[in-house]
C-alpha cells in the first residue's frame, strides 16, 4: 500500500472522532455511535482503495453501513478493513477517558475475520515480545515482563477490564504485587499504550471482544509488541458463528500473526476523550483540534498528528450540530 494512504486513513478516524465528540457526556451512546459511523463511512468514499469491511458494525442485516462484507472506497488497492468508529460508546456517553475512533487496514486476507464474541487476551510491548504465554500462570507472565523490562514486578501496571469474570485474574495480579488499572470499557486503547514506552502500562490481560482483539493486534504488530488470544465462546451459537467464519479450532491459541497476517498493515486512531497517549477532541470558536496516531508495519513509522480543522473548510458532517 502507498504510504500516502496512511494520512488518508487518519482523516477517516478524525472525521469519526470529530462528529462523535459532540455527544460527549450527553448520555446517548447510540447517537454518539451513529454520528461516528456516518462520518467514517462518508469519509471512506474519498480514499483510493477498494476495501472490504471484515470487522465492522455487525452483519448486513444488523447494520445499515460499515457492515461486514460492505465495499468501501473510491477504487484502488484491494484491502481488508477492520473498523470501530467509536470504541467506547459508554465512555463518550459518560464523558469518561479512553474513547477512540480506530481502524486497521491490511492487504486482502491480512486480517482475521473475527466473530462477534469474546476473546481471552494477553498483550505486551516490544521488549517483552515472545516472553509471555496466554496459558502460563499470571505470576509467571508478570515475572517474564519484569525481567524483560529490567524492573521488579511491583513496578508493573496491568490493564484489566473491570468485570466479574476477571475477579480471579485481578486477585492473581494483586497477589504477585503488580499494580492494576481497571477500565470500564474499550481495550484497544490500552493495547496501544502497552506498545509504547512512557505510558505507564506494561501488560493487558483478560477477556474482551474478539473484533477489538484484531484491532489491538494490528496496533501491536506495527509497534513490535506481542499479543495472544483465545476465543471464549459463551454458548453453542458462538462456536457455530466462529465456524461459519472459517475458524475450525475454537480452542486454538491465536498468535499476533494469526490475528494479523498481513505485512503491510496500517493502523490509525483518533482520540475522542482524554487518553494516556492521545489528547481529546477539543472544540473552539472557529473549529476543532484533534490528536491521532498512525502506524505502518512495513516502515516501522509511528506518527502523532496534532491537527486543527476550521469550520469553513471541513466537510459538513463535522461542523457544528
As annotated, the binding site for substrate includes 87-89, 118, 163-165, 185-187, 209
Rounded distance between C-alpha atoms, residue 247 and residue 250, angstroms: 7
Contact 89, 33 (CB under 8 A): yes
Query: Pick from 250, 200, 252, 260: which is nearest to 226 by CA?
Result: 260
CB 218 within 8 A of CB 110: no
Feature table: binding site for Mn(2+)? 33, 57, 84, 87, 212
Binding site, by residue number, is 33, 57, 84, 87-89, 118, 163-165, 185-187, 209, 212
Q: Which DSSP symbol is given to 202?
A: -
DSSP secondary structure letters along 4-34: HHHHHHHHHHHHHHHHHHTTTTSS-HHHHHH
Give Cβ neighbours of residue 33 (< 8 Å, ≥ 6 apart).
20, 85, 86, 89
Other Cβ atoms less than 10 A from the Cβ of 154: the count is 11
H or E element at residue 182: strand 179-183
Quickly tell me which residue has 478516524 as its cell: 13
Residues 260, 36: Cα–Cα separation, whole Å: 25
Residues β-bridged to residue 258: none
Are the C-beta atoms of 213 and 119 separated by less than 8 Å? Answer: yes
- The whole-angstrom separation of Cα 260 and Cα 272 is 25
Amino acid at each position: 500500500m502507498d504510504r500516502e494512504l496512511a494520512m488518508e486513513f487518519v482523516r477517516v478516524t478524525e472525521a469519526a472522532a470529530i462528529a462523535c465528540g459532540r455527544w460527549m457526556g450527553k448520555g446517548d451512546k447510540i447517537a454518539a455511535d451513529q454520528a461516528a459511523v456516518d462520518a467514517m463511512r462518508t469519509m471512506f468514499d474519498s480514499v483510493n482503495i477498494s476495501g472490504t469491511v471484515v470487522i465492522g458494525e455487525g452483519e448486513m442485516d444488523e447494520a445499515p453501513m460499515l457492515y461486514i462484507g460492505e465495499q468501501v472506497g473510491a477504487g484502488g488497492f484491494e484491502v481488508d478493513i477492520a473498523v470501530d468508529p467509536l470504541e467506547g460508546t459508554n465512555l463518550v456517553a459518560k464523558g469518561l477517558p479512553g474513547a477512540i475512533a480506530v481502524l486497521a487496514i491490511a492487504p486482502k486476507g491480512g486480517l482475521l475475520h473475527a466473530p462477534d464474541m469474546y476473546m481471552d487476551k494477553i498483550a505486551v510491548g516490544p521488549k517483552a515480545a515472545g516472553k509471555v504465554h496466554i496459558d502460563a500462570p499470571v505470576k509467571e507472565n508478570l515475572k517474564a515482563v519484569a525481567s524483560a523490562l529490567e524492573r521488579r514486578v511491583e513496578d508493573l501496571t496491568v490493564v484489566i477490564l473491570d468485570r466479574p469474570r476477571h475477579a480471579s485474574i485481578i486477585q492473581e495480579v494483586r497477589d504477585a504485587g503488580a499494580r492494576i488499572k481497571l477500565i470500564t470499557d474499550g481495550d484497544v486503547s490500552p493495547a496501544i499504550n502497552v506498545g509504547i514506552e512512557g505510558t505507564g502500562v506494561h501488560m493487558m490481560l483478560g477477556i474482551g471482544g474478539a473484533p477489538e482483539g484484531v484491532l489491538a493486534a494490528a496496533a501491536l504488530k506495527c509497534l513490535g509488541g506481542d499479543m495472544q488470544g483465545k476465543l471464549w465462546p459463551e454458548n453453542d451459537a458462538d462456536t457455530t458463528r466462529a465456524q461459519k467464519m472459517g475458524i475450525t479450532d475454537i480452542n486454538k491459541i491465536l498468535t499476533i500473526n494469526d490475528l494479523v497476517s498481513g505485512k503491510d498493515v496500517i493502523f490509525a486512531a483518533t482520540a475522542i476523550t482524554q487518553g494516556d497517549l492521545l489528547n481529546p477532541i477539543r472544540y473552539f470558536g472557529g473549529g476543532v483540534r484533534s490528536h491521532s496516531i498512525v502506524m505502518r508495519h512495513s516502515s516501522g513509522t509511528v506518527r502523532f498528528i496534532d491537527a486543527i480543522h476550521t469550520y469553513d473548510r471541513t466537510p459538513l458532517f463535522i461542523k457544528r450540530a
